[in-house]
Amino acid sequence: MSLVEPQTWREPVAAEVMRRIDVLAEVSETTGALTRRYLTPEHRRANDLVARWMAEAGMTARQDQAGNIVGRYDGIDDAAPCLMIGSHLDTVVNAGRFDGMLGVLSGIACVQILADTGRRMRYPIEVVGFADEEGVRFGTTYLGSQAIAGTLDPAKLSYRDAGGVSFRQALIDFGLDPDRIGEAARDRAKVRAFLELHIEQGPVLEALGRPVGVVTAINGQTRLAVTLSGEAGHAGTVPMSMRRDAMAAAAESVLAVETICGRQDGLVGTVGVLEIADAAINVVPGKVDFTVDLRAPGDAARASAVAAVTQAIQNAGQKRQVEARVSVIHEAASTACSQKMITVIEKAIAATGITPTQIPSGAGHDAAAMAGMCDVGMIFLRCDGGISHNPAERASQADVAAGIAVILRVLDALEA
């Protein structure tokens, strides 16, 4: 019997996912806005909540050595490689509430349906809430999924957050042992595939009038940390020709990112964080730190954009005797989803009566890291106006039900 029929589950299950999304949105570092960064007390509270919901769905839940929360629902053949379903529980600053949480809660909802109907698949299912996909705290992303994929670079343990706390120390403060983070890595032979339901974070599905689509590939991304060091000076006395103004160099650099990335379709560049050291209204800025986030469908296009942006930053510094230091803090290649999973998901979408749409992802996702260890597939869900990384981010309950229906059909298809 198909998992999807009878469809009586749709209303109550989707309503519960929406309710839980709202409950998780209250677990925030800031009142009135959603911010939940890696290894914070709010991350722990979210893990505890999700672990409880996993247990209610008949799963055994555990937190791994990287702070991911993992629930397991045994299969009839429990030695078989598992299907992992999930997404991330961390957020950006003043975030939307669907980005990440939708995929974790939908995975739990599907297992709940199995448990409520006394069903087990032949293969085990694991639902995972990744600990750090956004990379907001330490600047580098996919720390949770790279730990599970066994691709996490231990050198990142020395990365520091804005308050100077190292990733290593933050793990200790969270009650974890940084020297055991390698234990989070899973045996590739034990993981059959990874499936992620995520809001599209773009306008395509809404424009097509389709609730779901299948992701073909995930754009690669490079994150740069830039420090411009000039000389602080008196705003009233230092002549313009004698200044070493780090902020003027930064301003020229920001516009260079916009100009360089504006030249090529699909290439995007963003300066999202910029800080002036010892900022004051009457001081010529001596030191400025900023980040650059560069993405493109193709790795070659991204590499040449990184080179052009780096050169432009050096030039902006040189003409002002400002020293420019540019370092790569994160690099992820463009990742194709597995053709097998694309086919399975397309058929599952069609089986729910929706015309399948293939769509590339401009946003990064844990699936890009999980591709380092298994086949990956992603289902995109329409979101209002394509808005994301914004508190106005929203998906409808009916579309959440459509997304869950596709996952259930994928579970069925993988039984074969």
**Which residues of this chain interact with ligand HGY, rule CB under 6 A?**
133-134, 141, 363-364
Q: Which is nearer to Mn ion, 196 or 245 (CB)?
A: 196
Q: Is 230 in the site for Mn ion (CB under 5 A)?
A: no
**Among candidates 416, 415, 414, which has minimal Cα distance to 194?**
414
Which listed residue (96, 100, 124, 220) binds Mn ion by CB under 5 A?
100
Contact call for residue 96 and Mn ion (CB under 5 A): no
Q: Which is nearer to Mn ion, 71 or 100 (CB)?
A: 100
**Least separation, in Å, of the C-beta of 363 and ligand HGY?**
4
Which CB, 249 or 309, lies closer to ligand HGY?
309
Q: Which stretch binds Mn ion (CB under 5 A): 17-25, 95-103, 255-263, 404-412?
A: 95-103
- Cβ-contact 30, 136 below 8 angstroms: no
**Given 42, 64, 99, 196, the residue binding Mn ion (CB under 5 A):** 99
Query: Whose Cβ is closer to ligand HGY: residue 134's or residue 289's?
Result: 134
Question: Among ligand HGY, Mn ion, none, what binds residue 346 when CB lies within 5 to 8 Å by partner kind?
Answer: none
The option from ligand HGY, Mn ion, none interacting with 141 (CB < 5 to 8 A, set by class) reads ligand HGY
Per-position DSSP letters for 354-408, written without gaps between them: ----EEEESS--HHHHHTTTSEEEEEEE--GGG--SSTT----HHHHHHHHHHHH
DSSP one-letter string for 92-111: -TT--SSTTHHHHHHHHHHH
Q: Which is nearer to ligand HGY, 95 or 226 (CB)?
A: 95
DSSP element (H, E) containing 277: none
Q: Which does 100 bind (CB under 5 to 8 A by kind): Mn ion, ligand HGY, none?
A: Mn ion
Residue nearer to Mn ion on the CB measure, 103 or 285: 103
Least spacing, CB of residue 150 vs Mn ion, in Å:
21
Largest Cα span, the chain: 81
How far is the C-alpha of 278 from the C-alpha of 355, rounded, in Å? Answer: 56
By C-alpha distance, which of 163, 221, 158 is closest to 362?
221
131-160 burial, b if ≥16 CB within 10 A, otherwise e?
A: bbbbbbbbbbbbbbbbbbbeebeeebbebe
Q: Which stretches of the chain bind Mn ion, using CB under 5 A? A: 99-100
